[in-house]
Structures are given as structure tokens and as C-alpha cells.
Amino acid sequence: MNLDELYQEVILDHYKHPRGAGLREPYEGESHQVNPTCGDEITLRVHVDGDTIGDVSYDNVGCSISKASASVMYELVNGATVDDALARLAEFTELMNSKGQAEGDEETLEDAVAFAGVSKYPMRVKCALLGWMAFKDALVRASTPGRTEA
């Protein structure tokens, strides 16, 4: 099995068995994001507990890339400190903007390195980043009281 096949397996596994899926309470920030070019949609909630991401819950529809990416994101940010979660968001965004030139650091990105090959396809990059964008937006709303219903 070569690396591409291995990565396909990782993505397929997250797609078939999404980690942390479903909307839960409590939460302080919620975000709904749509990727019209593919038809992907996600509603994501963030529960911040002190300086830690207490929970990330989500409900999504769409392609295998967008759904698998949300599952991988859950694993990377749930239970992490807010600073670490934002660092992983930045690192994954950088990987997705690498146009196939970066491999990603498995130490910090774990299963998310499986999306390295996706960065070659601009249309798919939007799919892979959708969940992360929802997380970023929900986190901003969580730290800005009163914006949750916006």
C-alpha cells in the first residue's frame, strides 16, 4: 500500500466513522458554514471550558472530504487548549494552501496529513477547510457574548 492509498483509507475511515459527530450542549458559540461549489454544509458548536476546548460538536452533510475533515478536526481540537487548537487550525490551513508542495507534520496534524494531496485541487481545498472555518467562526462567537444568535 503506497502513501496515497493509505491516506485514502484514513479519509474513508473518518467519513464512515465520524468522530464526535452530533450537536451537543452546552456551547457558547455556533457557526453554520456552506460550501456552495460542492454542496457541503456544517453546523458546528464550540464549548469553551476555561482556556480549553471542552467540546466541539457538529452536524454536517456533503462530500467525503468535507465530512472526513470535520471528523479529523474534532480529534485535533477537542480537549486541546484554545492556543493549541488555533495553532493546528493555522497549520492545517497552511497545508491546504500548499498546492501539493507540503506534506504536513504528523506530530501535530496527525490524521490531517492525509489531506496533503487534496491541496492540489482548489475545489477540494474548500471542502477540507469548511469544518475548520466553522470551528474558527464558532470560537470567535464563543468569546464574543451575544453574537451566538447572529
Q: Point out which residues bind Zn ion (CB under 5 A).
A: 38, 40, 62-63, 66, 127
Rounded to a whole number of angstroms, the minimum distance from the CB of residue 69 to Zn ion is 9
Alpha-carbon gap, residue 101 to 80, rounded angstroms: 28
Rounded to a whole number of angstroms, the minimum distance from the CB of residue 121 to Zn ion is 11
Q: Which residue, 47, 36, 44, 38, is CA-closest to 60?
A: 44
Rounded to a whole number of angstroms, the minimum distance from the CB of residue 66 to Zn ion is 4
Surface-to-core class of residue 86, CB atoms within 10 Å of its CB (0-12 exposed, 13-18 middle, 19+ buried):
middle
* Identity of the residue, 33 or 82, whose beta carbon is nearer to Zn ion in the bound complex: 33
Alpha-carbon gap, residue 120 to 129, rounded angstroms: 13
How many CA atoms lie within 13 Å of 5's alpha carbon, on the beta-carbon side?
Answer: 2
* Identity of the residue, 26 or 39, whose beta carbon is nearer to Zn ion in the bound complex: 39
Rounded to a whole number of angstroms, the minimum distance from the CB of residue 77 to Zn ion is 20
* Identity of the residue, 53 or 73, whose beta carbon is nearer to Zn ion in the bound complex: 73
* Identity of the residue, 68 or 138, whose beta carbon is nearer to Zn ion in the bound complex: 68
